[in-house]
Amino acid sequence: MRHDHRPYWMHALWEQFENAWTRHFLKPHFESLGDHAKVVRPWNVEVFGPNVHAGKAIHIVSRRDQPVSFTVWSPADAPGEIHIGDCCFFAGSIRILAAERIIIGNAALLAKSVTITDSDWHGLYDRTTARPPSAPVIIGDNVWIGDGAFIGKGVTIGDNAVIGARSVVTRDVPANTVVAGAPAKPLKTLDPDGPFKTRMEMLGDAEGLERFMQAAYREQLGGNSTLGWLRSKVFPRRGD
């Protein structure tokens, strides 16, 4: 389809359904989840293990073929943890896997198929150990991680850094640095004074943004009808 043929009432009802699913089925799996979470198809998001914390206005976009997972390995004497800041965005097929600690700062942007892990999960010689080598991963504020990038154990990425698509990051990335490649290497340094415009600014007034988006959808979908939507599903035409 080239256009969204749904009438506004259908869009609003779907949003209410996703929000209710998030509150009832997904939120209890987080140790803490801030207000104004927006999760697209929340039934495709898996939170496994304890100590998964997320701040306010998290935005997760998933699909059946692009699930999102937050996984904590939790032996009784040393459970891992994941801490996600405010106003972060997670696209489909993202995997966050913690044996020790993964911290993601405010306003981070993670594109499709990113993997962040703080562990090798198996030793080079002992591949049966329940305590594989691990080291914390720290992602700063306003970090942008591109499509398919891999962030390995012990890595710290500074504020405002950009990780190029398909990069393999095994060493620290300084703040305000653009890196890419496998292994990732510095390509460019950003002006630390910016000015940067972040998701913190966009989502700072989450309720105001919600009102704006509702008005925008009302205008965009205002000419649609239930019969028109049914026609587009049953008898699609070129241009639909």
Distance, C-alpha 195 to centroid of its chain: 24
Catalytic-residue membership of 122: yes
Give me the pLDDT at residue 1, please: 66
d(CA 94, CA 91): 6
Judge contact between 206 and 35, C-beta under 8 A: yes
d(CA 129, CA 1): 50
Read off the pLDDT of residues 99-144 as tens digits, 9 standing for 90 and up.
Answer: 999 999 999 999 999 999 999 999 888 888 877 889 999 999 999 9
Neighbours of 70 (CB within 10 A): 25
Average pLDDT score over residue span 162-191: 98
In the set 3, 53, 83, 122, the catalytic residue is 122
Dihedral pair phi/psi, residue 204, rounded to 5°: -60, -35
Residue 28: band (very low, low, confident or very high) from pLDDT cuts 50, 70, 90: very high
Q: What percent of the chain has pLDDT over 90?
A: 83
Give me the pLDDT at residue 127, please: 86
Query: By CB neighbour count within 10 A (0-12 exposed, 13-18 middle, 19+ buried), where does 34 fall?
Result: middle
Read off the pLDDT of residues 44-102 as tens digits, 9 standing for 90 and up.
Answer: 999 999 999 999 999 999 999 999 999 999 877 778 999 999 999 999 999 999 999 99
In the predicted structure, residue 212 carries a pLDDT above the cut 90: no
Instruction: Write down how long the chain is.
Output: 240
d(CA 186, CA 201): 28
Judge contact between 8 and 221, C-beta under 8 A: yes
What is the chain's mean pLDDT, rounded?
94
